[in-house]
């Protein structure tokens, strides 16, 4: 029987970071929990990064993942925004490393291709597939930001890649 893996997916953002936890045993996936970490827009950057890190540490302590996966940073037309997103991602990766979690990374295109079969899929298509693959997550996802669905998609992508 394949080993049970508890995977924490992270969709990084400076103000809103999606997170999702699934369990994978072979090809069987089970929804555990998901949500969004929030930082205050008016706070200094260092305070926002600390807030995201502290919230993520609490999620790790609560759900005890065995693996983590985070979306790679993508370049935006606004270089300052890309840099700040990279800083948020770095703070989150440090938190994952401090929890002794191995961290895999996937691009948004890789995640979309793995779930929908199209690297240019729309967020709604990805969220729909997350609901198909994790039916028990549908109710939670209907009442939260898309960041949580994106985080679950990243975790699902990793579960599939790890099987291969």
Q: Which residues contact 18 (CB under 8 A, 6 or more apart)?
A: 9, 10, 11, 34, 35, 36, 37, 145, 146, 147, 148, 149, 150, 151
**CA 28 – CA 24 distance, rounded (Å):** 6
Q: Which of 11, 72, 122, 150 is catalytic?
A: 11
**CA 130 – CA 128 distance, rounded (Å):** 5
Q: Is 3 a catalytic residue?
A: no
Q: Is 105 a catalytic residue?
A: no
Q: Which of 3, 23, 105, 147 is catalytic?
A: 147
CA–CA distances in Å: residue 78 to residues 41, 47, 81, 118, 145: 17, 22, 5, 26, 23
**CA 72 – CA 52 distance, rounded (Å):** 17
**CA 63 – CA 55 distance, rounded (Å):** 12
Q: Which of 3, 43, 44, 71 is catalytic?
A: 71
**CA 113 – CA 18 distance, rounded (Å):** 19
Q: Is 72 a catalytic residue?
A: no
For the annotated catalytic residues, the residue numbers are 11, 71, 147
């Amino acid at each position: 029987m394949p080993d049970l893996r508890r995977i924490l997916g992270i969709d990084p953002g400076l103000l809103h970071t999606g997170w999702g936890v699934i369990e994978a045993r072979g090809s069987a996936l089970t929804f555990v929990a998901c949500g969004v970490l929030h930082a205050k827009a008016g706070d200094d950057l260092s305070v926002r990064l600390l807030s995201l890190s502290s919230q993520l540490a609490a999620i790790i302590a609560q759900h005890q993942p065995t693996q983590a996966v985070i979306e790679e940073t993508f370049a935006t037309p606004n270089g300052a925004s890309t840099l700040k997103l990279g800083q948020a991602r770095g703070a989150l990766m440090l938190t994952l490393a401090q929890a002794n979690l191995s961290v895999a990374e996937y691009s948004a295109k890789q995640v979309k291709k793995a779930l929908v079969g199209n690297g240019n899929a729309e967020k709604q298509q990805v969220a729909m597939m997350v609901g198909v693959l994790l039916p028990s997550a549908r109710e939670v996802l209907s009442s939260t930001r898309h960041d949580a669905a994106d985080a679950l998609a990243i975790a699902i992508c990793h579960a599939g890649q790890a099987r291969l």
